[in-house]
Amino acid sequence: MKKSVVILIAKQFFKKTFNSKGLMALLTIFLLVLIYVTVDGWNAFEANHHTIEHHQDKARKSWEDNPDKHPHRMAHFGTFAFRTQHPLRIFDSGIESYTGNSIFLEAHRQNTANFSEASLSTGLVRFGDLNIAMLLQLILPLIIFFIGYAAISSEKESGTLKIYYTQGVTMKELLLGKSLGLFLIVALFFIPALLALWSIALVDDFHLENAAVLVRIILISICYIIFYAILCSLTIIISGRSANSNKALLSLLGGWLLFFVIIPKTSQVVGNSIYPNLSKIEFRAEVEEEVSKKGDSHDPNDPHFNKLRDSILKVYNVTDVKDLPFNYSGFLMSKGEEQTALIYNQEQDKLIKSYKNQNSITNGLVIFNPYLAIKNLSMSLSGTDFTTYVGFLNQTEKYRYKQSQYMNELQMKFISNKATTSEGKVHVVGQEYWKSAPKFEYQFLSVSKTIKNQLFAFVSLFVWFIVSCIIMIKFSNRFKII
């Protein structure tokens, strides 16, 4: 195989395609849409970022400005936790539009995330959020197929392929040269998109580690470059295997419809059918039923907590809870909180597992479908996938639990056992303790955990790339020249 011949064929294909008016019109439209979605993504992200910061500060101020009061009343006053968007959401919004942005945190009760963009927008959002990743994942592959479908099949139809063959050009060199030429043409489309992605790394206003963002951007860029190398290779291979250009185009369009639309949608439907999940109402009912079986800490006649009271009285060798060295109601609330949190976490884990099982159908197909692989990798590295959202839910629950137990500890320490109610201004705790409670700080998944979660998708892309190269190099002699 002569490298000079491969490069010559690539240059010839590039010049011939680049000089066509249709390509320039297509490139212009693509770049205009790219500019629009990038600017729109930036504006939406900045607006959301500042809105979340404003409401998070407002919720914290409301919490700290509470006057002296009983800790249990303060625990039920509660506060809000807001989900900060990752800057790479500008590139790939993932499932962000369909997941809640805020959670109300209070004692003894775990609330769900609310106020998703989809729930507050028109029904058009449910068809998909237009962003840079969508252009790169769905639109650009179609453009690749339309540009490259006749790369070799047209040479067969015109008889040029025979001339190449008589001049000593091998099918291997022709396949590699056309693939390289097509990739260079495609680079005119995806390089501006990757430049828009890299512009995000220049922003230093969102209190995130720039090193981590930079690593994510590098990985995203590498993944998309490999993805387009795969598509260019497959396009040329199909063009070379097809008897004529019409068959090549139909094969590529059929492949796009199957791999980019039918398989992803079908896998989701199959996953939902095999692993059904509880609705929000059913999940809440399940949690409340389990809590009722264990006991109610607010019920003075509950058998479970009566046994707990008797055991505490025995340990401290007293006959009345009023004689205990701490506030028994606060202790009771802490045990009740511990119990309800444990039950909720168990039920939440079951629900999350059902969602993961649904996604396992799609995730298992990444080895057979490079589109699913790049889609999963793009979302995960952009911090907009399901695992990142679950991380937010887990962090808010941990924060809620610690805050509730902090209030219970204040009650145990500062409230007299003689207090019979949380009302009034006698049995209270000072305002300074509300300010001492830690603030909610949302942390994104580390890059290492993200790579670990999507290792199968990484492997899939490399396998597809290696297989496409092997087909062109090792099996090119099986391609017909007529």
Place of tokens 């063009």: 239
Report the percent of the chain where pLDDT is more than 70.
91
* Distance (Å, whole) CA 273 – CA 275: 6
Percent of the chain scoring above 90 in pLDDT: 50
**Per-residue confidence at 14, pLDDT binned at 50, 70, 90?**
very high
Give the dihedral sign, CA 119/122/125/126.
positive
Give me the pLDDT at residue 454, please.
Answer: 94
Mean pLDDT of 329-348: 89
Structure confidence at residue 305 (pLDDT): 80
Residues 81-93 pLDDT 10s: 998 888 999 999 9
Q: Per DSSP, what are the bridge partners of residue 102?
A: 82, 114
Q: What are phi and psi of 109, to 5 degrees?
A: -145, 130
More confident residue, 474 or 300: 474
pLDDT of 325 above 70: yes
Lookup: tokens for 134 = 């969508």
Strands (E), 261-367: none
Model pLDDT, residue 124: 45
Distance in angstroms (rounded) separating the CA atoms of residues 401 and 107: 8
Non-local CB neighbours of 69 within 8 Å, separated by 6+ positions: 428, 429
- Across the range 145-155, mean pLDDT stands at 92
Question: How far apart are the C-alpha atoms of 451 and 146, rounded to whole Å?
Answer: 33
Find tokens 């790049």 and name the residue: 374
Q: How many CB atoms lie within 10 A of CB 87?
A: 23
The residue among 282 and 149 whose pLDDT is bigger is: 149
Most confident of 127-136, 156-165, 217-226: 217-226
pLDDT at 422 over 70: no
One-character DSSP codes across 427-440: S-B-THHHHHSPPP
Residue 158 banded pLDDT, cuts 50, 70, 90: confident
- Identify whether the C-beta of residue 144 lies closer than 8 Å to the C-beta of residue 235: yes
Which of 44-48, 112-116, 261-265 has the lowest average pLDDT?
A: 112-116
Euclidean distance between CA atoms 111 and 397, whole angstroms: 9
Give the pLDDT confidence score for residue 203 in this predicted structure: 66
Confidence of residue 56 (pLDDT cuts 50, 70, 90): very high
Residue boundaries of the structural domains of the chain = 3-273+346-478
**Would you state the pLDDT for residue 85?**
87
Write the CB contacts of 66 (distance below 8 Å, at least 6 apart in sequence): 74, 77, 431, 434
Residue 114 confidence (pLDDT): 72
Q: Which residues make Cβ contacts (< 8 Å) with residue 328, sequence separation at least 6?
A: 309, 312, 321, 322, 417
**Segment among 198-202, 272-276, 422-426 with least mean pLDDT:** 422-426
Band (306; pLDDT cuts 50, 70, 90): confident
Q: pLDDT, tens digit, for every residue of 199-212?
A: 887 765 554 556 78
Which residues lie below 8 Å from residue 275, measured CB to CB, with a gap of 6+? Answer: 354, 357, 358
Contact call for residues 271 and 344 (beta carbons, < 8 A): no
Q: How far is CA 431 from the centre of its chain?
A: 39
Dist. CA 134–CA 143, nearest whole Å: 13
User: Which pLDDT tens digit goes with each residue over 366-387?
Assistant: 999 999 999 999 999 999 999 9
- pLDDT > 50? residue 435: yes
**pLDDT mean over 415-427:** 65
**Token reading at 356:** 């993961």
Residue closest to 120 by CA, chosen among 57, 48, 59: 48
Q: How many CB atoms lie within 10 A of CB 275?
A: 16
Mean pLDDT of 338-358: 90
Cα(167)–Cα(302) distance, rounded to whole angstroms? Answer: 93
pLDDT at 210: 67
pLDDT tens digit string along 204-243?
Answer: 555 455 678 889 999 999 999 999 999 999 999 999 888 8
Using pLDDT thresholds of 50, 70 and 90, give the confidence band for residue 420: low
Residue 482 has pLDDT above 70, yes or no: no
Q: Would you place residue 123 in the very low, low, confident or very high pLDDT band (cuts 50, 70, 90)?
A: very low
Question: What tens digit of pLDDT does each residue of 404-418 get?
Answer: 999 999 999 888 876
